[in-house]
Structure 1
C-alpha cells in the first residue's frame, strides 16, 4: 500500500491555553486541521459559508490565561491511531515516517539488543552480499585477482570467503561443538541453528550464537582487508584467539539474560557441555 510522506504538522497538535505560542493559521488546534490548508492563504474572508464552518470551532476554546500555557502534543500511534502525547518518541515518529518493507527472515540474526554496531553492519552487508568481494569487483569491470585472499583458491565470493574457504572453515570448526555440531555453510544455516529447540530453551544461547557468528564474520573480513591493504596476514590460530577475546569483551559487559541465570560469558565458556552435538 502506498504511504504518503507525512508533514511535520501531521505529527503535532496543539491544545490551546493562553494562545501566546500557538499559531492561529499554521498549528493544528481544531478538528479541521491546519486552517491555512482549509481556507487557503486568504483565510475565510467574507464568505459566509466559511465563517459558519469556522465559528463553532472557535467558541469552545477561546484563549485564556486561566487555561495555562499552550501545550503541543506529539503523535505516538500509527496512522490508524489518532493518539497524541506530551512526550516526544523518536521510535514512534520514525515508525510513522519510514517506508515499511516486509520482515526478512534474517533480521533477528543481524539486529538484536546485545549486538555491537560494527559487527552488525558487516553481517548485514554479508547477508545482502554487498561487501566489495573480488567477484563483485570483477563484475564492475575492475581488474583484480579472482582468487580468495584467505586461501588463494576458489573465487572470492561472500559464500566462499565467509563459509566455504578452508581458512574460514578452520575458524568455524574451532567453535563447532560449542554451539553447533558442524560449521554453518551460510547465514541461513545459522538461523536454523538458532531455531533448534535446545537452543531456544536455554536463556541467552541464541544471543551468544548470533554474536559469535557476527564476530567470526567481522574478523574474517578484517583479515581479508589486512592482507590486501596492509600486506599483513595472521594465522588461523591468531584469528581464533581474536574471536575469543572479542567475545569475552562483549559478553563480559552484558547482564545475565534472566535473573538468577548464568551470565552470557559463562554460557559461552561452558556451552560445549550444555549443547548436544
Structure 2
C-alpha cells in the first residue's frame, strides 16, 4: 500500500474557505501535488507547490492566469498563495487523449490557437539563457554539452516576431475535462515564446491528423527552415532530456 502525502493547509486558505474541507489526494506532478477540497456542495482543487522546477515561474503563472481570466478553457482561480493556487474543480471526467471525441479535440486545438493570439505582457523567453541554465544545472559533460549545442543552434534560427503567448508545458497531466470542454492548468512555464513548442506537444499527445496539422499551421508563424515538424519535434525531445538531467541533479 502506497502512503499518501500529508497535507497541511495554510491558515490563509482555511480562512478563505471559512471551514475545514473534506480532503482527497488526487496525484502529484514533478513540482506540485493536487488535492480536491470539498466544502458542502462546492469542490475546489488545491495545487500545492512542492518545490521549484528549472524554468518555471510563479510570477509568470499568475500573470498568465490573470490574463486568461474568463476564458472557458482556463482554470477559474479563487486564491493565489505562496504555497499554491486554489481553483474551482470543474473536472467532470478524467482526461484521456485516447478517448477524446472529435469535438473535444477541436476545442483543445481552438483553445491553443486562441491563446497564441492573446496579448501577453509577461517576459519573452530567452531560450539561449534557458538552455545554458539547464546545462549548468545538469552538470557539464560531453553528452550534456552536445545536447545544449544542438538546442542552441536550432533556437538561434527563431525570430522575435515568431514569439507569442504560449503554455509551453502541454501534456495530459496538465489538462482537465469538463463536459465537452478541455481546461488547461499548470501555467508555470507560460511565456512569450515559440508556438511551435505547443504544436509539437499537441502532436505528441494527440497524433494529429493532417487536417488538424493544417489547422494549426494556419495560425503558426512560418518556420525559418524546412521540415519544421521534424526539426521542432527533435528540439523538444532534446530539451526534455536536458530538463530531466537538470531536474535530477537539482533533486540530489
- Smaller-chain TM-score range? under 0.3
**TM-score of the two chains, using structure 1 as the length reference:** 0.24
Bigger relative contact order, structure 1 or 2 (CA pairs below 8 A, ≥6 apart): 2
**TM-score of the two chains, using structure 2 as the length reference:** 0.26
Higher gyration radius (CA):
1
Larger % of strand: which? 2
